[in-house]
Amino acid sequence: MARTPEQRLSVAAEWRTIRRLYPIYAAIAREFQLGDPPCESLNEVNERSEPDAFQRIGQWLAEMDQRIEAHHFRQLLQTSDLASSEDKMHTLVDRYLNKEHRTEFDRDKIDFLLIQYFAVCAPPSFHDREVDLEEVAEVLEPILGECPTSLPEWLRPLEQLIADMQRCRTLADLERHRIIERGRELKAAAGGRYFDSIALLAFTRFNYLLRCACFRLVDNDLRAIEAGLWELGARSVYFVDCTSVQLSPQEPLSNLFQLCLNLRKPLILDYSTGRSFDLLMGLRTIIERALAPEAATDGAGEAAAPDLQRRLERMKEEMAGLRVLLEQALTHGKPGLAASLTPAPPQAAAPPDSQAKPRVSPALSSKATVSPAATPSPAPLPPPSARPSNAAKVAPSPPSTVSVEIEHIKELLSVSGSKGRSSVSLAVGPTTKLLLTTAEVNAFLKGGDEAGVALQRAVAARFLLVATLENSKRTGEKPDLKPLLQSARDESANLSPLIVQAEKSGQTSLAEALSFTHRQLLAIINQVENRKG
């Protein structure tokens, strides 16, 4: 039976909507495991299967409307080109605006989709300045139609909120003025009025200006943090106590440089909570405290006192363990064992050149311990199985070559059980860890090709420099850094042509991985050179 002109028009409109929405919804379903789409591709739909396919796809899209949340749209649309055209964004917004019964979750989705529509459709000049309500109305006219730009009384607080937001200079200012929270409170108080054209217009402008302000403030804070890290390096401070942001008590500056680089990646702003920027704000506070005059008096930064306290606590634990073993030995009538376990007087106060302090050649492996001959005792030591696990060990010195360190890192990765699916923190010393990106971990686990070997050698060179600095701080020794620096420069030079080659061949991910490792190596080289100067 032939379709009427009206039916053909309806089918064409339905197919147009499906073509615009289906790829977006299918990508969200796969990315967030929200269920399998009804078909792999719309190319599977033909004239015979069309009626059934339309019904199945339409029902599936309606079900997905209930499953998809605002953060799903936010993560996918801000990091891909799936909805980078006006027609796709228009169809998405219309779908939620035209719902008969809209919920709070629909409001959150519309809230984001309108900002994204404006970001996609606004002229480039609008992105470099504060846009007014009339300009936003022009961009949103295809969706909202013509609407007045005079704000009703209940929306006037938005103007004060925008004025307060523009005065913020840091993310901490944004939090102190409760900009995000106050905006969310206004939306909640609007109730059903939120869906009025003038309200949608006003909140879209506020949301867009808030997004721009957040990008600006994140950049300001990152610049301040990076400048502070360079200043700490110039003061020969290489480790900072970052426990307040759930990092280590002696976090290497190179790790913090890497963290800043990660935070400079495209930002996915989530206004559902006001705590999106805690890490960045906390890190800036830490660096500013470390730069304060009182924090730099001993050249070791604010980590010095906490580090000393931790060492004292570890000494107490070891002494308690030795006392237990001593009592057990005396109880079982083993005076020789008791004598060997009697702790010697503490040597913490001994000067750096004291003969009582055991030393290990830097050429030895990081697993090196004091041999029995180097630690005399009144009686022969018990067999290894009977010795206490906390027997005195010399602080490990780092391996002296890149090749040795590569094998050491491989061993650490095998112990950690990493399979290369994510970044890994590896211990460089008793209190220091360094981060390996996923690409770096894979280079050690898979290796093989030229790029993998280059990544291995660059990471090993960076580990050697950080380990040497930590060992020097812990022992008071002043090692010859020239060979390590030259080796690190050589590995840095080896990476440069590989980065260019990867970029020319279109291997974007590889180029980014190599560039990231290259920057990290250069950062620690600069720190060491500043220390030498």
CA gap 424, 455 in Å, rounded: 15
pLDDT tens, 400-432? Answer: 688 888 888 888 887 766 665 566 777 776 666
Beta strands 251-252 and 424-427 are: unpaired
Angle at which helices 438-445 and 450-475 cross, to 10°:
110
- The residue written with tokens 């399998």 in the block is 36
Look at residue 433 and give its three-state secondary structure: strand
pLDDT tens, 138-194? Answer: 999 999 998 888 899 999 999 999 999 999 999 999 999 999 999 999 998 998 899
Q: How far is CA 13 from CA 1, 18, 42, 58, in A?
A: 20, 9, 15, 13
Please give the mean pLDDT across all residues of the chain.
76
pLDDT tens, 237-258? Answer: 888 888 888 888 888 888 888 8
CA gap 438, 421 in Å, rounded: 6
- Which has more pLDDT, 274 or 39? 39
Two tokens, residue 396: 């490990």
Q: Tell me, what's the pLDDT at 118?
A: 93
Question: What pLDDT band is residue 311 in, cutting at 50, 70 and 90?
Answer: low
The residue among 74, 67, 62 whose CA lies nearest residue 35 is 67
- Chain-centroid distance of CA 57 in Å reads 38
Q: Tell me, what's the pLDDT at 319?
A: 66
Q: Tell me, what's the pLDDT at 155?
A: 93
Instruction: Say if residues 306 and 241 touch (Cβ distance below 8 Å).
Output: yes
Q: Tell me, what's the pLDDT at 198?
A: 94
Look at residue 427 and give its three-state secondary structure: strand
Angle at which helices 253-263 and 197-234 cross, to 10°:
160
Mean pLDDT of 125-138: 88
Helix (H) or strand (E) holding 240: strand 239-240
Q: Tell me, what's the pLDDT at 478?
A: 77
pLDDT tens, 362-399? Answer: 333 333 333 333 333 333 333 433 334 443 344 444 44
Instruction: Say if residues 137 and 144 touch (Cβ distance below 8 Å).
Output: yes
